[in-house]
Structure 1
Amino acid sequence: MINFNGNIVLKDSNILTENRSFLYGDGVFETVKIVNGKILFLEDHYFRLMASMRVVRMEIPMNFTMEFFEEQILSLVKRNNLVQSSRARITMFRNDGGYYLPVTNDVSYLIHATALEEISYTINTNTYEVDLFKDFYITKQLLSSIKSTNKLLNVTASIYASENGLDNCILLNDTKNVVEAIQGNIFMLVGNKLITPPVSEGCLNGVMRKQVLALAKKLPELTVVEEIISPFDLQKADQLFLTNVIKGIQPITKYRKKEFTTTLAQELTTLLNELIAV
């Protein structure tokens, strides 16, 4: 028997009592965008998920191929009639048993999907204000570059942003350099130089980050680099924007007292939509 919200119930009636992702954050996940029955950037998502599982020493099922990954997601999307535009999350977690030390490295998975309103990526140029989140810091290590189910820092930063009327927060690492936003990688344009922090700074190895880097390198007027960004550098920027696979590119229009233009974000969004041909 267990106590669940003040009620004594059978232990087996609550599947979370032994779930390692719930108890210890012992899980990794991917969030994908599906458009017209196609998972965007499928290969990048698949290999990042496999790499994440290897980092945390999970056993990868023999049948967990990219084709299996695709079929499981698309069958759910179709069953829920979400084929036109949707997002899906696949969470891999180590099977029940043990405390910090698991009794097995075998895994189970959970997929859920929800509808999205937009098919193409759209650019939002409305006021989008950010500030630094300095209560907690990201550590510069390999675990920071994967999507684990332990996201307390991001959750707390989201609450802070809401309490302070912000649209997002910029996260810092343990050497007080800029890493990323709560839910996306960050890019900074200074003159003709487009800069994003290297993964070694602790940022997520984002799928959309990879696409935007490749697209930006095709623009002859830009120099594209991965370099350390300090909070002071943000004040010198001409443009700032965030990237993730669901939203695409989100321009930042205001950081503290400085306001930014959005022209590069708009240009890259056009190129992104041409790339996915939706």
Structure 2
Amino acid sequence: MPKKHGTARIRGLAAELKDLRDKAGLNTRDAARRVGMSPATLNRMELGNRDITPEDMAALLVVYGVVGVERERLLTMAREAGLPGWWETTGNRVPDDLPALINFESKATRMVEVALVRFPGLLQIPDYIREIMTSAAVVGSRMETMVATRLGRQAVLTRPGPLHYLTILDEAALRRPVGGPQVMAQQIRHVIALAARPNIDVRVIPFTRGAHTGLDGSYSTLEFAKACTIVYLEHKGASLFIDDPDDVAPFQDATDTLIEAALSSPDSVDFLAEVAADYDKG
């Protein structure tokens, strides 16, 4: 079966290849020379514009010094690169799909995050992140690595030519006192400050609006200038990228419905300010 260019697997694998080359301290020319391919070919692979065969992957992994379980995981990804979607089980480790997610966020022109129970990672302050990590039994240096990574991802919101970002927050995410009242007040005011940026739109669905289609679960959609939209679902111990247009469409329809259910942008900011004031009262 011919491989389908542009699947989440191919695009994710491309991101991992580039990350591995950077970690190996090699430029595209030197890495390509060592495996006997042209720099242009390797460049197209890293951009997700060319199939990455298991043979090419095996050769590159030798150059990048990747062995053992990680080598087998990447070779499996190369063998399955043409399949739609991408399911990753992460267990109690740093997510394997994180390089792909970071790459998708950096390349996207627009991102929508629907959050039911907590603030999205791109909006979280350090104390909020640490509390979330602690609750998941992530501690010590591993916690600080993950905190730094999450904070680094947030640069897509403030860089030149930033990502256009919409988040739809259920009131439940605002009312759960992660880290206590002081942390929550700081977290909410951080979101209010971000909402003042022209590329960031924050919408709140208050409890008074009753049931809404977002109650089926949190999700993110990432849109690109020259590639298909991807849906990202994250759950405990696993995550899923969806890239088939027929499967993506219901999430896009849900976003339109949720925008209608949510408060307007100005009213959402006022609502956030009221909740922050409630936390100030202790």
* TM-score, normalised with respect to structure 2: 0.29
Q: Which has the higher contact order (CA 8 A, sep 6+)?
A: 2
* TM-score, normalised with respect to structure 1: 0.29
Pick the structure with more helix per residue. 2
Pick the structure with more strand per residue. 1
